[in-house]
Structure 1
Amino acid sequence: MATVLILGAGVMGSAFTLPLADAGHDVRLVGTPIDAQTIDALRQNGVHPRLNAPLPRNVRTFHHHEIGQAVSDEIELIVIGVSTAGVTWATDLLAPVLPGPRPVMMLTKGLDTDGKNIRPLTDPVAEALKCPTGGVGGPCIAGELAVRRDTSVVFAHPEEATLRRLLDLVAAPYYHARPSRDVVGTEVCAALKNFYALGIGAAVGMLDRQGGAENGAQMHNIAAGLFAQALLELRQINALVGGSDSSVHGLAGTGDLYVTVQGGRNSRMGRLLGAGWRYSKAKAEKMKDETVEGAELALSAGPTLENMMREGALAKQQMPLTCAIIDAISRDHEFSVDWQRFHYAH
């Protein structure tokens, strides 16, 4: 039996307790300040209020101010499942209490940018905690994992021996984790899938705006064209940062993008954009209290991506969907794509 600490009691961090707990491990779930009501609810009846499902009984819960009680020498793995904006808070909380270097896995998705360069979020976490850090990617809807639906994911970690041990830890019959040493590619795909889901989700909004056809035709052609273009552009960014092409075409890229487009906050925002809403109005009136990860990434990484295009590191002519999403989010323009630039020869 191993002892695993998960920081972040949102839907994904909490759902991740299941394969660990079902494999017989001691799982300690620590909430952030915004998870206080969730931790209280779990302590009262064991049911996660947002997942609408019970967590295993061998999951122990802690408020963030109880971190000292949750951390011990027995901890074998640290899992970070906070929001992207909360990563620095998480490392500040963990660093003083860690008993020494431990493997860290990121459920949190995001990129670290400085206006000129892009790197995976695992890099600043590894620097802050002085721990080898990897990430989990692939198509995993938390609500499905919470009821033990079969789920295929990628575990990426820089250390081969650690990677093998991590796969042993999550050996539940419904959780199918596959190994990868491509931490960069896994993390880049995991972050940008939210960004591109905004553009692909716009197809449904275009249908809302235009209205149904007399013969009942939908807009699957448009959605498929947007999906294919997203993969072309994702491939370019991933290659530039140093990720493997296989991650784009596997679970971390294509698989995760597909499931993200099926539902969730990013595709819902995309639908609003496709229907003609400006981002600021859609966020304020329709999704005020929700974090839209793809939009947050557009705001934070957009300037760096545009600098890369200006300097020629990325070919702007080949990035029409990226440009359209950045314009819609960062400049509050109406979402509009230049179809003549789509599927440019790469």
Structure 2
Amino acid sequence: MSVITFVCAGQMNSAITFPAFENGHEVRLVGSPLDRDIIDGLKKDNFHITLKRTLHDGIKYYQIEELEEALKGADLVLGGVSSFGLDWFCDEILPVLPEDVPVLTVTKGMVDLEDGTLVPYPHIFAQRQPEGKHLNLNAIGGPCTSYELADHDDSHVAFCGKDVETLKYIKSLLETDYYHISLSTDVVGVECAVAMKNAYALGVSLAVGLAEKRDGKIGSQHYNSQAALFGQSVKEMTRLLELIGGKPENIIHGAGDLYVTIFGGRTRKIGTLLGRGLSFEEAMAELQGVTLESIVISTRTARAVRKLAERGIVSLEDFPLLMHVDAIINQGAEVDIPWKDFTWNDFSLAE
């Protein structure tokens, strides 16, 4: 039996306690400063108030002030902060994590640099750890919703990091007959692929709202337009993955994550509202209080592409859907899918 300490009690981090506990490990779940009500509820009856699931009886729960105690004797640390808690995690958590314990983070995201380079969060964590400290940082990517993982639906993810043996070790702790794990040392490829899907999930979800607006019926089902936008999304994501130096096979993690995100969650909601005709400000007002990582990723990715275009490295014409999503979010543009920009002629086999 190993000791696994989960830092932050968000939905995904909490969902991974299921395979961890069922594999016979001691599980310790530590809440962030924003998770106090979650931890209080779990201590009472094991019910997670945002995941809406009852966690296993026997898990040990801690408030953030008890982090030092929760880390004693740990064999693995899972970090579950959202993108909006990135600075807090870097400033408050990384300095107190022991160097001899591998870290696995569920946080998906990228930061764009001044020259247009896109850097995945694991690299940001590495850069922002205290000087002289060398944490063994790894991350999870792939299509996996917290609810379905908690319900034991078959899920396939990728663990990525620099050290192969560490990845094998972490896999041995968490893999089950429903939680399937691939391994990769292509951190940029895996993490950037699953991060950029947030921007494109918003783009595909525009079609949902457009169909509802056209039919005058909430829940109206039309799949041709969604499928077309999905295909365009994968095309643009593949180009971005190549651009940042990720291995092309890791597009499967981004495409799979794109698929699952389109069918539910916060990103689908904002895209649907925009497609119905609400302005970005109106849509955000309706979703007040909801954190939307898709907005952050869309803005950062589009900004990076524009900088690369200014340097002559790419053409904006290769990313029409991303540019349209960015225009809606940051320039007040109305939804008007640029369908003609998606088409092309392939005469490569013509005589």
| TM-score of the pair, normalised by structure 1 | 0.93
Pairs within 5 Å for 1:188-207: 188-207=192-211
C-alpha separation in 2, matches of 1:217 and 1:273: 15
CA contact 2:109–2:191 (8 Å) conserved in 1: yes
Aligned to 1:75: 74
Task: Confirm whether residue 2 of structure 1 aligns to residue 5 of structure 2.
Answer: no
1:315 to partner: Cα distance: 2.0
Please say which of residues 92-101 and 121-130 is displaced more in the overlay: 92-101
Deviations 1:154-190 (A, max 9, x none): 1112211011111101132221112222211110111
Match for residue 166 of structure 1? Answer: 170
Structure 2 unmatched ranges of 5 or more: 347-351
Corresponding position of 2:19: 19
Where does residue 57 of structure 1 map in the other structure? 57
Q: Distance in 2 between matches of 1:135 and 1:335?
A: 35
- Range 124-133 or range 112-121, more displaced: 124-133
% identical aligned pairs: 33
Q: 2:161 aligns with which of 151, 157, 161?
A: 157
Deviation at 1:65, TM superposition (A): 1.9
1 CA distance for matches of 2:326 and 2:138? 28
Confirm whether residue 339 of structure 1 aligns to residue 343 of structure 2.
Answer: no
User: 1:276: which partner in 2?
Assistant: 277
Question: Following the alignment from structure 1 to structure 2, what is the Cα–Cα distance between the partners of residues 95 and 204?
Answer: 41
2:98·2:135 contact (CA, 8 Å) conserved in 1? no
**Aligned-partner SS, 1:178:** strand
CA distance in 2, matches of 1:288, 1:122: 29
Question: What secondary structure sits across from 1:95 in the alignment?
Answer: helix
Asked if the contact 1:327–1:335 (Cα under 8 Å) also holds between the matched residues in 2, the reply is: no
* 1:85 and 2:87 aligned: no
Please tell me whether the aligned partners of residues 71 and 97 of structure 1 are also in contact (alpha carbons under 8 angstroms). no
Aligned twin of 1:244: 247
Q: CA deviation at 1:343?
A: 4.3
1:168 to 1:343, Cα distance in 2 relative to 1, 3 A: farther
Equivalent-residue separation in structure 2 for 1:245 and 1:128 (angstroms): 28
Per-residue deviation, residues 104-157 of structure 1 (Å, max 9, x unmatched): 222111102223221111101123333132221111111111122221111112
Residue 234 of structure 2 aligns with which residue?
Answer: 231
TM, length-normalised to structure 2: 0.92
Equivalent pair of 2:195/2:254 in contact (CA under 8 Å): no
Higher mean displacement: 199-208 or 77-86 = 77-86
Q: Which residue of 2 aligns with 1:305?
A: 305
Unmatched 5+ stretches in structure 1: none
- 2:76 is paired with a residue whose SS is strand
Q: Secondary structure at the match of 1:75?
A: coil
Residue 168 of structure 2 aligns with an amino acid whose one-letter code is R
Query: What is the identity, as a one-letter code, of the residue corresponding to 2:84?
Result: A
